Amino acid sequence: MSTLFEPVRIRDLEIRNRFVRSATGDHAADEKGSVTDTQMKIYKALADGGIGLIITGITFVHNSGRIMPHQASIASNDCIPGLKKLTKAVHEGGAKIAVQLFHAGRAALRSFGGEDQKILAPSFVPGDPYFPYSGTYRAMTEDEVWDLIDAFGDAALRAQEAGFDAVQLHGAHGYLLSQFLSPFTNLRQDQWGGDDLEARLRFHKEVFRDIRRKVGNDYPVLIKLGVQDGFPGGLRFREGKQAAKALAESGFDALEISHGLRGQGPGATEFRVKIDTVDKEAYFRDWTRQIKKKVSVPVMMVGGIRSYEVAEDIISKGEADFVSMSRPLIREPNLIRDWMEGDRHRATCISCNQCLERLIKGKPLCCAQTEGRKKG
C-alpha cells in the first residue's frame, strides 16, 4: 500500500495515515459555544470517512477572542462534557483529533462582552487599509498579554481533559498570533514587538511554555503558521521561514504552513479559488517544501490539494509529512476512505468558497453545491 496510508507519529501520537482535515470553522456550536448534534454529525462523518487527524475549527480560548456567534468554545469548564462526547465519537471512528486554539485579536466580534467589550490587539495600526472589520480596537497592556497567555494554557489543559489528542495554535490568517508576528500589525516597542523577529515571536513562545507547564512534556502542541502576508509591508516569507524554524526549535511538535494576514482578493488569502488544474493545486507547496528542509519536526502541507496523485507526489518526495485539506472534505467527508479503497477520483470540490460565504452569513457549515442540489 502507498506510504500515504501507513501510520505516522507526532511525538508518541500514532495517526493511521498521512491525511489531516485542516481546521474548518463550522458555525454550528450553541450560543454558549458548546457542542451540538450538528457538530457531532460533521465530526463522525469525517472520522468514518477515513481521515487520520482532524483539526477542529477555530475554538476560542477567551471571550475577548470570539469571532462568530456560534463558534466553539474552550474558554470555560462547562464546555468539557460536550467536547468529551465529540472526541469519543471521533476515536470510535479510528481518527485522532486536535483542537484549534484561537483568539481573533483585533478581528474579534464586536457584539460580545457588553459595554466594556475590549477588542485587543498587539498594536493599534492607524489608517490600516487592510483592516476589513468595522469598529476600533486597542493595544493590549502588559497584564492583558499575560492574561491571554494564561487563557491559552488553561484551554490546552481543558483540551487534554476532554480527550483531545493534541492542540494546534492558530498562528495564521491574520488573527491574534499572526498579528503579533507581522511587522505591519505589531508596532510595539516593548519586549513583545518591534523590528526584531525574536520579540514578535515572544508571545508564541510564552504561550507554548504556559501550555507545556500545564499539560506536561508528552502532549503534542502543534501550530498552523502564516508565513507571508498578502500585501506589501507585511510579513515576508524570508522572516516567515525563520519564524517556522525558531518555533520548531523552541519545542512545537508539528507545523502546518499557511498564509498570514489577508490581502485583497482570494489570491492573497489562504483559500484560493478556481483550482481546476493540477498545476494550481498545493499552492503553498514551495513555502512548505523550503520549511520542511529546515526543521526536524513533522510538517503539514495545506492549500488546494485536490488529487490523490498530487498528495502522493508531495509525500514521496518528502516535501511534507502530512497533506491537509479543508474544502474537499466539506463536500466529500468520505474522500480518504474512497482513495484508500482504490477509488482515486479527484476531489469534486470546485473551490467556489460558497461554504465560506455561508459561514459569514451565519449559516452552519456545508457544501453550498451539495445543498443546492438537494433543494433542486
Ligand X SMILES: Cc1cc2nc3c(=O)[nH]c(=O)nc-3n(C[C@H](O)[C@H](O)[C@H](O)COP(=O)(O)O)c2cc1C
With binding defined as CB under 6 A, does residue 57 bind ligand X? yes
Kindly state whether residue 270 participates in binding ligand X, applying the rule CB under 6 A.
yes
Q: What contacts 24, CB < 8 A, 6 or more positions away?
A: 57, 326, 329, 330, 365
Helix axes 142-161, 202-215, angle to 10 degrees: 40
Segment interacting with ligand X, rule: CB under 6 A, options 35-43, 73-81, 234-242, 320-328: 320-328
The H or E element spanning position 290 is helix 285-294
Give the C-alpha separation, 61 to 278, whole Å. 38
66, 70, 106, 224: which one binds ligand X (CB under 6 A): 224
Instruction: Tell me the window of 140-148, 185-193, 227-235, 319-327 that interacts with ligand X (CB under 6 A).
Output: 319-327
Q: What are the grid coordinates assigned to 177, written together?
A: 498570533
Smallest gap, in angstroms, from Cβ of residue 301 to ligand X?
Answer: 10
Task: Establish if 226 lies at the interface with ligand X (CB under 6 A).
Answer: no
Burial class (CB in 10 A: 0-12, 13-18, 19+), 93: middle
Q: Does 262 bind ligand X (CB under 6 A)?
A: no
- 24 lies in the site for ligand X, by CB under 6 A: yes
| Active-site position among 43, 137, 175, 308 | 175
Out of 13, 29, 35, 58, name the contact with ligand X by CB under 6 A.
58
Q: Name the one range near ligand X by CB under 6 A: 3-11, 16-24, 30-38, 157-165.
A: 16-24
100 binds ligand X (CB under 6 A): yes
244 contacts ligand X (rule: CB under 6 A)? no
**What is the total count of residues that contact ligand X (CB under 6 A)?**
25
x-marked contacts with ligand X along 357-376 as a string, rule CB under 6 A: --x-----------------
> 368, 376 in Cβ contact below 8 A?
no
288 binds ligand X (CB under 6 A): no
Determine which residue in the list 25, 52, 153, 240 makes contact with ligand X, applying CB under 6 A: 25
Q: CA-to-CA distance for 82 and 259, rounded, in angstroms?
A: 31
Per CB under 6 A, the segment of 89-97, 117-125, 170-178, 194-202 that binds ligand X is 170-178
User: Site residues for ligand X, window 108-167 (CB under 6 A)?
Assistant: none
Please say which residue, 25 or 260, places its beta carbon nearer to ligand X: 25
- Per-residue DSSP letter, 140: P
Piece in contact with ligand X (CB under 6 A), picked from 21-29, 142-150, 245-253, 310-318: 21-29
If one asks whether residue 183 binds ligand X (CB under 6 A), the answer comes out as no
Is 25 or 240 the residue whose CB approaches ligand X more closely?
25
Work out which of 326, 333, 339, 340 binds ligand X, going by CB under 6 A: 326
Q: How far is the CA of 261 from the CAs of 12, 14, 126, 306, in angstroms?
A: 33, 32, 16, 24
Cell of 5: 496510508
Structural Rg of the chain based on CA atoms: 19
Strand partners, 221: 167
| Residue 71 within binding range of ligand X, rule CB under 6 A | no
Kindly tell me which of 51 and 139 has the beta carbon lying closer to ligand X.
51
Is residue 327 involved in binding ligand X (CB under 6 A)?
yes
What residue type is 197 in one-letter code? Answer: L
Q: Confirm whether 308 is a catalytic residue.
A: no
Task: Using the minimum distance from each CB to ligand X, give the nearer residue, 57 or 230.
Answer: 57
- 8 Å CB contact between 280 and 293: no
CA–CA separation, 284 and 301 (whole Å): 7
Determine the residue type at 92. Answer: E
**Per CB under 6 A, 182 contacts ligand X:** no
- Local structure of residue 76 (DSSP, 8 states): S
- Residue 302 touching ligand X (CB under 6 A): yes
Question: What is the Cα–Cα distance from 265 to 277, expressed in whole angstroms?
Answer: 20
The alpha carbon of residue 241 and the mean position of all alpha carbons in its chain are separated, in whole angstroms, by 18
CA distance 77 to 178: 27
Piece of the chain touching ligand X by CB under 6 A; list 40-48, 85-93, 152-160, 325-333? 325-333
List beta partners, residue 138. 120
DSSP class of residue 248 equals H
Q: Interface residues with ligand X (CB under 6 A)? A: 22-25, 57-58, 100, 170, 172-173, 224, 258, 270-271, 302-305, 325-328, 355-356, 359
**Which are the catalytic amino acids?**
175
